[in-house]
């Protein structure tokens, strides 16, 4: 044990990082290939999908020529990769904007929702998980178990709809979708996150409006993530709850608060970090459904609209972006994991 710890210099970390980055590049090539092949499998003609029901032959030919759809497949793929490396994802056939521009507009919207969901679900999830573990097999634990199982069983899109019906339509407490009221002037674009930008402007009314719009879609995403985090935290805490060093800490007369935060949570942290990667993926996936219900102009809605309208450059762009985020988050989780838990060997 001691020998291993001594041999742990920075070198394994660097080597680990390089190997993971290499794997990441391969993975990304695979992802572009998959999304490329998938979009090629489209039996429907992209030109027809975009030009309406009865396009003329000339307009089809012009369309195909414009987007290079007549080249052989490998040529199309290489062209795409070449453009991709230069940050050019092509032009969306639906919005007639570069896909990169479309993404840069919709990413902050999703980011705001995701950050809201992740922050609140982490706070409540960890609290619930610790509580359930400390009160194991009591009514509190059973209650939280039913609650978290319900949380992962609820169809998000249905919950969102129900929330809209009650809080917007019935009681008028919360806005009915979108990021801001139509009457509210958007804040100066700094981060793209309306709540943060409004605060930077010092405009509290705008902040409140943006925040109110976040509550319902955010809560729907939070419920699911809270359940995941809580279940993982409970497991992790139970694992160390009766460890000798925890008992020793208690025997020393440390307060329950210190024991829980300094000893138990510290040991449970790697598991909590691990589940964060999963939560991130679930929030991204949930965004597709939730954004569609709340008319939230994020990447989920963009992905859905481009998929339904067979907007190939947009589909590829958005799926590559989501996969990229997903892969990078997992890399960060693995790294954090190794940093937090010295027992993990980077092999």
Partner 1 sequence: MSTTEAVLPPSRMRRFKRGGGAAAKPARAWWRAPTMLVGLTIAAIWVIVAIFGPLLAPHDPLAQEFAITQAPSGAHPFGTDELGRDILSRVIVAARNSLPLAVLLVVCAGGLGTALGVIAGYVGGWVDGVIMRLADLFSAFPAIVLAMVVTASLGPSTRNAVLALVTVTWPIYARVVRSLVLSIGQSEYVQAFRLHGASARRAMWKEILPNVVGPITVLATIYLADALLLLAGLSFLGLGTQPPTPEWGSMISVGTQYFQNWWMATFPGLAIFSAALAFNFIGDGLRDVFDPQSQVGSGARGSDPAAEEGDA
Spatial contact of 125 and 229, defined as CB atoms under 8 Å apart: yes
Q: Which one among 35, 110, 195, 206 touches partner 1, defined by CB under 8 A?
A: 35
How far apart are CB 295 and partner 1 at their closest, in Å? Answer: 11
* Residue with token string 């573990």: 133
How far apart are CB 303 and partner 1 at their closest, in Å? Answer: 6
Interaction of residue 113 with partner 1, rule CB under 8 A: no
Which segment (65-73, 212-220, 244-252, 303-311) binds partner 1 by CB under 8 A?
303-311
User: Under rule CB under 8 A, which residues in 1-20 are in contact with partner 1?
Assistant: none
Give the contact letters, 89-108, x = binds to partner 1 (CB under 8 A), - = no.
--------------------
Interaction of residue 162 with partner 1, rule CB under 8 A: yes
SS3 state of residue 98:
strand
How far apart are CB 337 and partner 1 at their closest, in Å? Answer: 8
Interaction of residue 341 with partner 1, rule CB under 8 A: yes
Q: Which one among 21, 65, 75, 158 touches partner 1, defined by CB under 8 A?
A: 158
User: Under rule CB under 8 A, which residues in 263-302 are in contact with partner 1?
Assistant: 270-271, 274-275, 277-278, 281-282, 284-286, 288-289, 292-293
Minimal CA–CA distance to 335: which of 343, 326, 327, 346?
346
Q: Which one among 48, 203, 304, 336 touches partner 1, defined by CB under 8 A?
A: 304
Which segment (60-68, 77-85, 151-159, 179-187) binds partner 1 by CB under 8 A?
151-159
Query: How is residue 185 written in tokens?
Result: 């002037």
Residues touching partner 1, count (CB under 8 A): 72
Interaction of residue 219 with partner 1, rule CB under 8 A: no
What are the phi and psi torsion angles at 98 (to 5°)?
-55, 140
Distance from C-alpha of 56 to C-alpha of 58, rounded to nearest angstrom = 5
Query: How is residue 273 written in tokens?
Result: 């970090």
Q: Which one among 18, 21, 78, 146 touches partner 1, defined by CB under 8 A?
A: 146
Interaction of residue 307 with partner 1, rule CB under 8 A: yes
Cβ proximity to partner 1, 48 vs 285, nearer residue:
285
What are the phi and psi torsion angles at 86 (to 5°)?
-85, 10
Cβ proximity to partner 1, 240 vs 254, nearer residue:
240
How far apart are CB 115 and partner 1 at their closest, in Å? Answer: 17
Spatial contact of 232 and 162, defined as CB atoms under 8 Å apart: no
How far apart are CB 275 and partner 1 at their closest, in Å? Answer: 7
Distance from C-alpha of 154 to C-alpha of 161, rounded to nearest angstrom = 12
Sign of CA dihedral 279, 282, 287, 290: negative
Q: Which residues pair with 91 in a beta bridge?
A: 98
SS3 state of residue 115:
helix
Distance from C-alpha of 342 to C-alpha of 347, rounded to nearest angstrom = 13
Interaction of residue 88 with partner 1, rule CB under 8 A: no
Query: How is residue 347 written in tokens?
Result: 């092999």
* Residue with token string 């795409």: 80
How far apart are CB 34 and partner 1 at their closest, in Å? Answer: 7
Q: Which one among 113, 118, 221, 303 touches partner 1, defined by CB under 8 A?
A: 303
Give the contact letters, 224-243, x = binds to partner 1 (CB under 8 A), - = no.
x--xx--xx-xxx-xx----
* Cα separation values, 32 from 132, 313, 324, Å: 43, 11, 10
Sign of CA dihedral 109, 151, 340, 135: positive
Give the contact letters, 177-196, x = binds to partner 1 (CB under 8 A), - = no.
--------------------
Interaction of residue 323 with partner 1, rule CB under 8 A: yes
* Cα separation values, 276 from 21, 147, 336, Å: 20, 20, 11
């Amino acid at each position: 044990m001691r020998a291993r710890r001594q041999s742990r210099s920075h070198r394994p970390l660097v080597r680990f990082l390089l190997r993971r980055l290499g794997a990441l590049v391969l993975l990304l090539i695979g992802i572009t290939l998959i999304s490329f092949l998938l979009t090629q499998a489209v039996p429907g003609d992209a030109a027809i999908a975009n030009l309406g029901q009865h396009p003329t032959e000339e307009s089809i030919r012009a369309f195909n020529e414009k987007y290079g759809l007549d080249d052989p497949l490998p040529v199309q793929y290489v062209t795409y990769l070449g453009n991709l490396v230069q940050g050019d994802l092509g032009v969306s056939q639906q919005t007639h904007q570069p896909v990169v521009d479309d993404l840069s507009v919709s990413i902050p919207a999703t980011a705001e929702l995701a950050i809201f969901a992740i922050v609140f679900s982490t706070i409540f999830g960890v609290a619930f998980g610790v509580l359930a573990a400390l009160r194991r097999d009591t009514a509190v634990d059973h209650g939280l178990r039913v609650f978290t199982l319900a949380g992962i069983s609820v169809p998000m899109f249905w919950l969102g709809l129900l929330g809209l019906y009650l809080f917007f339509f019935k009681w008028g407490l919360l806005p009915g979708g979108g990021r801001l009221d139509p009457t509210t002037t958007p804040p100066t674009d700094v981060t793209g996150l309306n709540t943060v930008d409004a605060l930077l402007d010092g405009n509290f009314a705008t902040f409140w409006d943006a925040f109110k719009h976040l509550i319902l879609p955010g809560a729907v995403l939070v419920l699911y993530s809270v359940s995941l985090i809580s279940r993982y935290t409970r497991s992790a805490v139970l694992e160390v709850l009766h460890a000798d060093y925890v008992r020793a800490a208690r025997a020393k007369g440390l307060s329950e608060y210190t024991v829980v935060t300094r000893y138990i949570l510290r040991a449970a942290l790697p598991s909590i970090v691990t589940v964060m990667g999963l939560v991130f993926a679930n929030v991204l996936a949930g965004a597709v459904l939730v954004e569609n219900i709340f008319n939230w102009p994020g990447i989920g809605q963009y992905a859905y609209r481009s998929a339904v309208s067979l907007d190939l450059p947009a589909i590829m762009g958005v799926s590559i972006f989501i996969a990229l985020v997903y892969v990078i988050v997992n890399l960060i989780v693995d790294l954090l994991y190794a940093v937090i838990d010295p027992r993990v060997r980077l092999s």
